[in-house]
Homo-oligomer: A and B are copies of this chain.
Amino acid sequence: MRAWLHQAVDPSARAQGVSLFNLVICGLILIAVLIAVLETEQTLVDQFPVFFYLAEWLFFIVFAAEFCLRVYVAPLNPLFTGRFGRIRYLFSLWALIDLLALLPFLLTGTDVTAYYLRLARLLRVLRIARLGRFTHAWAMLGGAFHARRYELLISALIALLLLLVSSTFLYLLEAEGQPDAFGSVPRALWWSVATLTTVGYGDVTPLTAAGKFFAGITAVAGIGLVAMPTGILAAAFSDAFQKQRGEKQGG
């Protein structure tokens, strides 16, 4: 019985494929997140107060039961065997996230800290990445990031430098005309980050000719800022995919 439950509950218990139990739980997590998102809209809560109240309770019961089940079958996982297996499981990363995601149900709607804790529920969305084939894809993407962490850090460093240089220039050129938007480097950073990431809100734009000239150069540099990490990631993923193919052919 417990072995059968373990097969259904623990995603690492299966060599491949996803159990129906985990599929349903992932679906419920997505629905719970959606409801938590909609619940912040006061007009909806006023329209359907009973629905949200019931949904909160229902999800609390389901997820609490799921949590107990996971604690119950934990010792069957080789990582959590032995006398203190269950306690060690309680302090594992995923169990803590699950626990943290249960807390906001108890504090529902009372104060602001409850909202912060609800963010924990979002982390459970990542649980989907542990299902079946996703584990391989997840490991490959993570490996590609790790293999090129120095290159990515350098491109982040260059981005930081560009942010500081462009906001300093715009501060020097536009501070007089627009003290609210460019009156200091931290203020000019808001414009700078919007331009270099090519978001470009347009709530703040330079007005002087010199300011526009440097802003244009910043915008062009922004292309490089997007192109460099994209290029590094593309090459890193290409490497990782080739290595995977090599392993398949070798195995």
* Size of interface on A: residues with Cβ below 8 Å to B: 83
Q: From residue 59 to 112 of chain A, which have CB atoms closer than 8 A to chain B?
A: 112
- Copies of this chain per assembly: 4
- Cβ–Cβ contact A157 & B126, under 8 A: yes
- Cβ–Cβ contact A164 & B37, under 8 A: yes
Secondary structure at chain A's binding surface: helix, strand, loop or mixed? Answer: helix
- Cβ–Cβ contact B168 & A115, under 8 A: yes
Query: Can you name 4 extra interface pairs (CB under 8 A) apart from A41-B183, A42-B184, A193-B220?
Result: A38-B186, A125-B161, A134-B154, A159-B220
Instruction: Give the interface of A toward B (CB within 8 A).
Output: 33, 36-38, 40-42, 112, 115-116, 118-119, 122, 125-126, 128-129, 133-134, 136-138, 140-141, 148, 150-151, 153-155, 157, 159-161, 164-165, 168, 171-172, 183-187, 189-190, 193-195, 197-203, 205, 212, 216, 219-220, 222-242, 245
19 A-B contact pairs sorted by A residue (CB < 8 Å): A37-B189, A38-B185, A40-B171, A119-B168, A122-B165, A129-B154, A134-B150, A141-B151, A141-B155, A193-B216, A193-B220, A197-B220, A199-B199, A200-B200, A201-B202, A226-B227, A232-B237, A234-B238, A235-B237
